[in-house]
Structure 1
């Protein structure tokens, strides 16, 4: 067993060693011998180790596949006694991980045989403590990832028990939080939590099965895309209520992650004609079911990290729904974003107060650091959500932005974190880029911040600021004209800085070069073109920011074409 433990350790860290591929061969030879050992514990350990080897070796494992798979299938088919339940369960895990490692083409023929065994097992009554149940759920999911759309014929077998597990009701005991009575249990399977004035005891084994099932449903929707469509009408009503399942965080997390996958599946099925009798109105109906539920769940979510996940999911759902969102939904989302910003500010003040406590120590400081990182992720997702709304609805969103701006503008202050400042600048960048003339009224408020932030100590803030100056140069017209001189000075500071092209600063540099090109292109009459344009040309090409590199290339082509037209017109005179 010590040998097997060493295999496990090595396989987990194999990618760090250059000799990994060579050693895998030696490990395989020894492990294959273990399968022939009569001791069940040794065989189970060998299966676990081999699964880990395959997982770390990936494509390199193909050379051993033909020799090892017959052993694995033999165990799966013959280890039918109750005493061999864990051995059989381990064989499922190993086979599915080996299949994922070698890929669909290599695994396809054996996969058919393996899944016939799993289908037969699926229909067999099992005891509640049988490990095969949970191992089989996870094996099915891995097989789906391996086979992709080829897995669809087996969904009618997989889905019914999976939905049944996802719909399990929690085994709950409720007492008053102020009561002296303890919730008792004969074993360690009861977990106690307090919600408001209630103390709740809940059996964790049910929750674990429910969480695993919800994760598997999300996995299938993600992997099968439009192929998952036939199951949406059963899965959506199962998972949407679980957005507020406060008994178990993993259940909520899986439900949150599944929301955009369900919408994506429906949208793709309709677009590809794989949803008989359904059209865009079905996607709208599903969107109307999911998005308000997400917004409501976000409003009630107690965990900061989960708030971030919900905002991320909401953003994906908005991107998929696009203009199917109606005005009331946009208002509800905007109002909730406002609530998120307010709640975040409150938590930030509370953390600041905690630093003043007498018992504040290094451990508490580490905890605060972690909480601050979670808070920045929330702000990042707020910026992403607003960016999606702005890009989708453009000037039509501005009335909602006007209500939010009182919360966004303070994020530009020097007392805020670099991440908060970057997000606030990115929000204005989106407004200026997507709303164009309609955004000119915000220039007096935001452009001074862009100019100042162009020389910020933080490179991400600088990048967002100089990008924004480029957007304003392109779309700001006469409103931006008086600021061109100061903008040139700020951009020159970024471009000419001694460490401008250092890895940490290169993205800000590329965006500054792009912004300078836009000033040359759109404000040529307001600059000393004979000096500025050669300086810009001297910065080319830019290579790291691929998006801005294309923009700059287009700028150069546009200027060359303009010059050729001017020369042609001069020659004809």
Structure 2
């Protein structure tokens, strides 16, 4: 047995985990770690818990089924007699919170949160105490806010107690480790629960402001930085109205620090925290932030323009690999060493520029030229993915800011951008950055309109899209061949599933570009789209993956929606498969297909009338199945209801017995989840009521109480906003019903207290139409 003669330390376990692989480590845990956890020697218990921490990511799938037993076993050790064991238990919980994010929090919040809060009382062991706070951060970051809110009073009470005590320890003994962590934990809690933090704001902000103002010596740089982060995250959580009284006082302190920016060393942790704080305050203040731009822009541009130290490595040079401040980047056959100091600050500064351009728009116009000249070359800054992603994200926002300077100026900017943007798309090695580049192109096109691309540029962009679609098929074929290879095993399958996810992401972003092109150029883009149609026809075939079929259907949906009857030129490529997809086992596919028939109904015109009528039985069947309203199926079902609605309203020339069908249609309401489709459905309900449709009104107005209950439900669940066009129509109908007291009183008796209140609020808040 590996541990028969010695206890392996934490770093050794990490190396062992990497060497053996997740599945081997899992088998080891099942057979050996259980014994170690029962050993009277604390070192064995510590090592066993660290082994669990090291294994989760490597064999996620296999460990998922064991989570209940593992977590219950780990929680016991939060009360272990030895602080190093308690530390290891916190480490395991924090790691599993990340490795099994979402599922872990939903299943274990009622046990994990009280367990970690108990560790925050371990004042005699600050390292363990701090690690409990760190584990709580991991847990909170991926926790659904509603679950954290359930425990918020207990969390706040404990954090307040520890913060007060640790502040005294800082003053009296200069101990800051736990205080730094508690400030970070508080920030993470506020960030997750958002507005629900507002009642606790005044309990923390005075002390945080005091720390920020007074933690100014070099020893306290990290504490001050974390306090900046905490204050700005709390401000963002509670919103401008709550934060505004403290905001300008905080701004003055930030300005003092910013003025001293030149004197901060490159390794000063305050730099990145300062950049992050300015960014959040910009989001909080919006236009009111413009007055601070002259102060912050110089240092931000300087940080964004930072050039790292780079050296070309010979074959026998390995020194930089052993230095934590250096990384090795391989480009083709050449290896480069990059000094990483300052890179994260550069990426943060680039993200900050994105935020300023996005939030301030024309208020940022004086800095557009400098920012553009800086960001465009960074599209090919291969030393840091975050820098390239921020550069890509910035471009449409910079164009939007520049509109104040006129069309000619914007066109010149775009000419400077677009060639580099196209080149970057062709050669970008990272999937996520490539997705950001695709998104940037689409948003730039929508920002600029039909003048954005010349005919040659449209052709060039379509060629790039064609190339990426071909690569998508090539990678898919390679994975299929690997699955038939004799060396195929579960580990290879896990790698390929990750590649599947990357490809699905890229296809999603690629479809976004086509969406933007169709929104902007409508049917004039179809000449170019002809090149791409065979790819999407192949992608919707039954043998393709769910994501392939889903995004291909979405592209054809856009073609129909934005080119109308012109889209019928491709009917042979998509119509049969779209109809078959209404009965697909995957709700994502059914949703995309249903949406397609909805836009045929609304935008396709007479050429699609027969197809719409023939789709109705399939749509009715989808809506009427026993599990159509389950969590998994409800969005697809609501899309189907909306599709039927659009066909009834806009394209019913081939539909028989419409009144009889209306009776069934009315029974499907309410809908509440898909807020984009709800206005079409409730708008049509208003049409029918306003035309005194006897099916909807009922004999002697007998159905009016059911209608009013639907209106109340829509307002309670915010599926219809009171001040929207459809909401106003609903209010007018409600006011008309109010003029008939006997009917209105009958309606009120069918409602819950919440529904009655929602109607009263709607009637009181809605403007009276003339």
Shorter-chain TM-score: which interval?
A: 0.7 to 0.9
- The equivalences for 1:108-507 within 5 A come to 108-124=244-260, 125-175=263-313, 179-182=315-318, 184=320, 187-267=323-403, 270=404, 278-327=405-454, 328-474=456-602, 476=604, 479-480=607-608, 483=611, 486-507=614-635
Taking a change above 3 Å as real, the CA distance of residues 363 and 26 of structure 1, as seen in their structure-2 partners, is same
Is structure 2 residue 176 aligned with structure 1 residue 49? Answer: no
Alpha-carbon distance in 2 for matches of 1:153, 1:293: 33
Mapped to 1, the partners of 2:308 and 2:134 lie a distance apart of 36
Q: What's the CA shift for 1:11?
A: 6.3
SS for the counterpart of 1:541 is: coil
Q: 1:411 Cα shift?
A: 1.0
- 2:225 counterpart residue number: 89
Q: Please give the secondary structure, in 1, of the residue aligned with 2:312.
A: strand
8 Å Cα contact 1:144/1:151 also seen in 2: yes
Report the CA distance between 1:22 and its aligned residue.
4.3
Which residue of structure 2 aligns with residue 32 of structure 1? 164
Per the alignment, do residues 485 and 67 of structure 1 end up closer, same or farther by CA in structure 2, a change over 3 Å counting? closer
Q: How many residues align?
A: 553
Deviations 1:131-161 (A, max 9, x none): 3333322333233333333332222221112
Instruction: Provide, for residues 64-98 of structure 1, a one-character-per-residue CA deviation record: whole Å limited to 9, x for no partner.
Output: 65565554444444444434433443443344344
SS in 2 for 1:460: helix
Contact 2:320 2:328 in 1 (8 A): no
- Counterpart secondary structure, 1:345: helix
Distance 1:330 1:31, change over 3 A: same
- Do 1:12 and 1:56's aligned partners in 2 also have CA atoms closer than 8 Å? no
For each residue in 1:404-438, what CA deviation from the matched residue of structure 2 results, as whole angstroms up to 9, or x when unmatched?
Answer: 11222111111211222222222222222322232
Alpha-carbon separation, structure 1, partners of 2:485 and 2:180: 53
Contact 1:513 1:536 in 2 (8 A): no
Report the secondary structure of 1:209's partner residue: helix
* Other structure's SS at 1:188 match: coil
Pair 1:550 & 2:705 matched: no
Deviates more, 1:295-304 or 1:104-113: 104-113
The 1-side partners of 2:280 and 2:658 are apart by 63
1:300-343 CA distance string (max 9 Å, x none): 11122322222122222222222231333322322221121112
Structure 2 distance, partners of 1:546, 1:64, is: 32
| TM-score between the two structures when normalised by the length of structure 2 | 0.65
Range moving further from structure 2, 32-41 or 187-196: 32-41
- Farther off after superposition, 318-327 or 548-557: 548-557
TM-score normalised by L of structure 1:
0.86
Cα displacement string for residues 219-272 of structure 1 (whole angstroms, at most 9, x for unaligned residues):
3333333332221111111111111111211211221222233233334xx3xx
User: Aligned-pair distance for 1:294?
Assistant: 2.1
Name the SS for the 1:191 alignment partner.
strand
Q: Is the 8 A contact 2:517 2:525 kept in 1?
A: yes
SS of residue paired to 1:403? coil
Change (3 A) 1:337 1:101: same
CA distance in 1, matches of 2:459, 2:624: 45
Structure 2 CA distance for aligned equivalents of residues 542 and 444 of structure 1: 35
Contact 1:474 1:518 in 2 (8 A): yes
Match of 1:509 among 613, 630, 637: 637
For structure 1, the residue ranges without an aligned partner over 5 or more in a row are: 271-277, 565-573
Kindly tell me: are residues 100 and 64 of structure 1, through their superposed partners in 2, closer, same or farther at Cα, counting changes over 3 Å?
same
Change beyond 3 A, Cα 1:435–1:99 = closer
Shift of 1:369: 0.8
Root-mean-square deviation (CA, aligned residues, Å) is 3.2
The 1-side partners of 2:233 and 2:649 are apart by: 56
Tell me if structure 1 keeps the 8 A contact 2:600–2:612: no
Does the Cα contact within 8 Å between 2:523 and 2:563 map onto a contact in 1? yes
Q: Secondary structure at the match of 1:353?
A: helix
Q: Is the CA contact 1:240–1:290 (under 8 Å) kept in the aligned structure 2?
A: yes
Native 8 Å contact 2:159 2:182 kept in 1:
no
Contact 1:12–1:52 under 8 Å retained in 2 = no
Segment drifting more, 370-379 vs 477-486: 477-486
Q: Distance in 2 between matches of 1:214 and 1:435?
A: 38
Give deviations 1:492-519, integer Å, cap 9, x for gaps. 4323333333333333333334444455
Which residue of 2 is the match for residue 275 of structure 1? none
Aligned-partner SS, 1:147: helix
Q: Deviations over 1:76-132 (max 9, x none)?
A: 444444344334434433443444445444544544344334333334323333333
Q: 1:105 to 1:364 in 2, by over 3 A?
A: same
CA deviations on 1:278-299 (whole Å, 9 max, x unpaired) are 2233333333333433222111
